[in-house]
Amino acid sequence: MGDYTPTVTINPSPISKPLRFLVIGAGSRGNAYARAVRSVTNGVIHAVAEPHAFKRREFGEKNIWGKGGRPGEGQEFDDWKDWLEWETERRKLTAETNTTATNASTVGVDGVFICTLDETHVEILQAITPLKLHILCEKPLAISLTECLAAYRSLSTHCEASKIFSVGHVLRYSPHNMLLRQLLLLDRVVGDIVSLEHCEPVGWWHFSHSYVRGNWRRETVNGDGSLLTKSCHDIDFILWMLCSPSPGGSSSSSSSSTPSYHFPRSISSFGSLTQFRRARKPIKAGNATNCLSCPAEPECIYSAVKIYDGKHLAKQKLSHSALSIVCPDIEDVYTTQGEQAARQALLTSLSEDYDRSTTEDALIASRPWYGRCVYEADNSVCDDQVVILKWDDQNTTASTSTSTTSRTSKTALFHMIAPTEKQCERRGRVYGTKGEVSYDSETITIHTFESGTTTSVPVPKPATEEEAQGHGGGDYGLVRSFVQAVDAVENKGYAVADAQRSFIGCTLEEAVRSHAVVFAAEEARRDEKVVKWDEWWEKKIRQ
């Protein structure tokens, strides 16, 4: 990240060992991180734990044992619990024989990527942290503040002092956003920041796929929803810009008499489910609950047939995550049996449905229903939400210009909106005392008040098209930083805290507090109130 230069003595290991990683969950995130490990790091994916046999085999062939190869001992597991049992036994045997295993059939891993469903993260973290492995956990860390704090306690007890931890806040790691932050906080191109507006356009069909029909369609037991599952890294992005230490400073508040973080004074939020509910259902659709039997399907833009067949299968976009999620083995079926067989497999998946007489809510909630009518689904998360954060001037006695001028009062507005042309291509504007900056996912433009000039800033591009597709290089940047941090600790003699700051650029505490702001915003939305951050955080910590 370039935000911190360690001052400790570096004692590199005389022999650099290869870095091996386990991926728990072979879905889209697990595959994205595995590709990044293979493409831009010196690490290797050594093992996978995934309950779906086809996904597990496909992942292994792509990332571990190769096409036509076979997994070695300790490289393939049906479940993370199976791996945990195996790893515990391996360590026991290694300790009993007082040897260091070196061959591929007995070695363990140095780190773990947790890429499972959100609600499983805390259980996995609490189970594996006693093993003292480096961990990268996909966002969100947990689905409630209580669980976030439980994860924090487990990680800080077992791993924080000795191992690297990172969370999937990928927006911090794209070349575009790193440059934007440097321009605003280090180069101060707009002077003091007065206000920031940031928007995530989710994309009209993407929202229906993931947040109406898919795994993230329902609020948690606490009533938190799409702000957490879709946009917690956007809130983290805003805090990284306006709350975290500026580039070039330490992230430890104990290193200076001046607090390193500028916390917001208040948080408010407004949002609702506007479109995807029964009241908006076309009259022509009648009692239909599934696209395959709906008389309004030909005219409906949210037709599952149009989205998954017309937009993907018919255009041979077989590897697109949306299509592979609906029908995991469709690429294999297409290759071995042809297009018609693949289409029939897709339509079979889309035809699965439940009716209004189904009373077992847990059964309905236990899985996605991708052929379901978007107006008859059991979704409950917001498709339009705004979060407003307010900062006061930070009281400080520091004499440096950075400390005094970058900690002035300001506001930030975040907007998550579903019906958009762009899909997850963030955009925003920053207003300052000397100018303003506008940005989208690829460009940055600076307007300076004094000269009246508007300048487009050259933005570094990801090295490959594949890298660019992962949040503008953020996926690869996150994984690169994580593996570099692990390598620094394991092979280059870095202290963990220094590697965490140097390469990850975010402490465990900062990651948890970033999630807490999301939960505070959701409480503000549900209760229609303004949350006073300091009071709210102190109360939650006491509880």
Q: What is the pLDDT of residues 259-273, one digit of tens each?
A: 478 999 999 999 999
Q: What is the pLDDT of residue 248?
A: 63
Check if the beta carbon of residue 35 is closer than 8 Å to that of residue 321. no
Q: What is the DSSP string of 462-480?
A: PSSHHHHHTTTTHHHHHHH
Give residue 466's pLDDT.
82
Q: Where are the domains of the chain?
A: 19-168+475-506, 172-275+380-462+511-542, 278-365
CATH 3.30.1330.40 fits 19-168+475-506, yes or no: no
Using 70 as the pLDDT threshold, list the residues of the chain that sit under it.
Answer: 1-15, 99-105, 248-259, 356, 359-360, 395-406
Q: What CA–CA distance (Å, rounded) separates 261 from 244?
A: 5
* Dist CA 503 CA 228 (whole Å): 25
Work out the burial of residue 14: count CB atoms within 10 Å of its CB; fewer than 13 is exposed, 13-18 middle, 19 or more buried: exposed
pLDDT digits (tens, 9 = 90+) for 67-115: 989 999 999 999 999 999 999 999 999 888 875 544 445 789 999 999 9
Rounded to whole angstroms, how far apart are CA atoms 168 and 36? Answer: 13
pLDDT of residue 204: 97
Give residue 8's pLDDT: 44
DSSP state of 9: P
Give the number of other Cβ atoms within 10 Å of residue 168's Cβ.
28
Task: Give the three-state DSSP class for 525.
Answer: helix
Task: Give yes or no for a contact between 354 and 369, defined as CB atoms under 8 angstroms apart.
Answer: yes
Element (H, E) at 431: strand 427-432
SS3 state of residue 424 = coil
Three-state DSSP class for 417?
Answer: strand
Express each pLDDT in 191-203 by its tens digit. 999 999 999 999 9
Fold that domain 172-275+380-462+511-542 belongs to in CATH: Dihydrodipicolinate Reductase; domain 2 (3.30.360)
Which two three-digit tokens encode residue 376? 């008859």
